[in-house]
Amino acid sequence: MAIRHFRIQAMCRYGKGFRPGLILLLLLLAGMRVGAALEPRPPAAELERLVERYEQMQERLDNRRYAALVNYRQPSWEPRFYLVDLQQQRVVESYHVAHGKGSDPEHDGFASAFSDRHGSHMSSVGFFLTGETYVSEQAGHGLSLRLKGLSPSNRNAFDRNIVIHANHYMENDFIDRFGKPGRSHGCFTLKSDDRDEVIARLRGGALIYAIH
């Protein structure tokens, strides 16, 4: 169904009182790729929360085109970093992303604990705001994107150096060999090609919402 046609149907069905955020949510879900029913999807209720927060903050956001939802309810071997194009009103891509070692001490692929504490090596959840890019001196990280925590559950993200970066344990050959990606120290770690794509779209003041 075309996005434009879907917008008209939604407005006719629900009338003028229908909230714009819900319209955008329906458009985002309707705009997913053909065949997405067989792939993991972002939870509709959490996607709505992301849209609502975007609407609340959009006048203060420098990057109003893209946002992302990270679903730590899914195991690490599934693509669970969802890139949302707010202008085209659709989820445009999903990527594998690591969670922290402290969140998955058994390394079974499931994040079960979360913390904003220094030295925990855990992932944290909540809303993040993307910042500036830099080139990390740590081996394999390369181009990286700084993040600021906006929620009580991730206030220390910047001081903990929780960022978006790449590493070898996210590459396809590693996942194919071990059946799942490796773990980070709490950062959103991607394979290098995905890292480049994500940073190009999310850099400079976009929202990321991590959930569990």
Domains of the chain: 41-211 (2.40.440.10)
pLDDT at res. 13? 36
According to the model, what pLDDT value does residue 58 have? Answer: 92
Beta carbons within 10 angstroms of residue 17's beta carbon = 5
Give the DSSP letter of residue 100. B
So what's the pLDDT on residue 23?
A: 54
Whole-number pLDDT of residue 175: 97
pLDDT for 16? 40
The beta-strand segments (E) located in the chain are: 66-71, 81-85, 90-95, 126-135, 143-149, 163-166, 188-190, 207-211
pLDDT at 22: 54
Query: Across the strands, what pairs with 94?
Result: 82
Which residues of the chain have a pLDDT value below 50? Answer: 1-18, 30, 33-37
For residue 128, the cross-strand partners are 149, 208
